[in-house]
Structure 1
Amino acid sequence: MQNDNEIFEEIKRSTNLNPRTEFVNDTRHLLVKKANHIRKVSKIKKLSYYWSVVIATVALTAWTFLFGGNQHIVKSYHTVMSAIPKIDEESMIASEENPSVFIYHTHTTESFTPLLKNKNPDKAYDKKKNITMVGAELTNKLKKKNINVLHSTTDFEQKLRNRNLDYSKIYDISGKEVQTVLDKNKNLKLIIDIHRDTQLKDATTIRIDGKDVASVSFVVSENSPNFKENRKIANLFHQKLEKKYPGLSRGVLLNKSQTNNPYKQNFYNHDLFANSLLLQIGGVENTIEEENRSVELLAEVIDEILIEIE
């Protein structure tokens, strides 16, 4: 049996045909008729699709706004969305809402000579490159451990200048923000005021696992009404760090005001909350990398301690 190609080849080799005029006219008429039919069917399909869309849209609109369908849609949307597991990066990190830790910086502009063009330790202060970068790093580390943290970058020194107050009033300024945070967040477990020490690198650096790490220290006011509690939480941190990373903590430093006037005593805001820390991470000559290595180790200890404290 011949296939299509063989038949076409035979037609091409055959002599020219001279069909009758009636045959040609009948064939043309038949082809035109079929073409019109195909065009008509196609048009009907397009019109049917168009009107189906219009009718469906009208019906959906009427159901939504006249018969309360919008409530069903919203409910269905939330049902579907709640069933979808949230696996994006942000959903895996804790937030600032209902914080258990509050981090701030009374001496906001304290900076590090490696970050600045000016290498004079006495002038290592900057409005942008400063200790708040260390606080931000600690905040991120804790959030990745599913700990809700509130981090303040308020420039308290600028507030001091705006009010033309003496520098000795700096803790009064930062203390107002601490009190505001305490009033709004009843589940706080720990408040940390992060500073950097004025000592040079030899005194504020330790070697851990072959890398330089900024050492830490804790300052506690002996004048604070919460002195026993303040010292207890500081000692707990020191002991935990000493056990896990010997030498990382340089200890708890007790500071006592020389005046008996309660209005001139410096409590470091420790009088506002029992579990308050003045934490010094590294010193003026430490690099930001050394600070961040210290922060990573501190985050481990904070994670452990939050489970133990009320």
Structure 2
Amino acid sequence: MNGPYYIADRCFRDLILANVALRKISTGHLWTEGPVWFAAHQCLLFSDIPNQKIYRWMCDGTVNIFRENSNFANGNTHDREGRLITCQHGTRSVTRTEHNGDITTLADQFDGKRLNAPNDVVVKSDGSVWFTDPTYGILSDYEGYKSTPEQTHRSVFRLDPQTGDISQVATDFTQPNGLAFSADETLLYVAESGASHDETVPAVIRVYDVDDDNMLQKGRDFTTLDKGIPDGFRVDCHGNIWTSAADGVHCFGPDGGLLGKILVPETVSNLTFGGPRGNELLITATTSVYAIHVNTASAIA
């Protein structure tokens, strides 16, 4: 098979396309992150954290600046009303960009103390906003402002959209990072990226049951990466996990077994599904953003 692939399981062949190439669609950045596809506008937004910019890539190949001063924006997603939700290291907050362009702060503290540095974020179908809060954005002045953590834990939080209340739903992480729901939202997957600064921490994606009260139960390891650490990832419509890694994008089946890899020449930070037909992986990787067509699509419409 042609293409930049490593095949660990034959069924991976059904998820990829033999005659496509990995395309570099934007480059010259410092550290790209937070890709989010807006189908209504046919565009990809992504962050360049150290440069404090959010960029916009259009399907015609045009790349322009969406936000000039992003406060070290990292993870991005959109809510069910099509509004941009962003994790900002600089303000140690989660924000929402309203349809008129105004920016609303959704969360910047818990239990009377400042958050560490919100990193990645997803929105559940009930409108609740779930985000991770590691310390990467306050470890140095490169991706934020160096500071001492105020939170006791590096946690996963849930924000109630009606009341604005914030709940701490998981604390058993060294550095929680990317997160994603299964298609039926009964499972939440969360990346443990603590090996970035402590090699004794396993490079795992954990999975939790989501109960009827939106609490997490029965946390356990889902899979372990063999190259680098998990950062951002997505779940496809078949229940497979596509995650960032040191050598590209790794694809794991619903049972946690490695199916295969898309090899990328830079360390991958994150990815999302998008493109006009929703069948492209849009990949943020160190200085560049890449795209490749696949034979699957996102679990979330």
TM-score range, shorter chain: under 0.3
Q: Which has the higher strand share?
A: 2
* Higher Cα radius of gyration: 1
Q: Which has the higher helix share?
A: 1
TM-score scaled by length of structure 1:
0.22
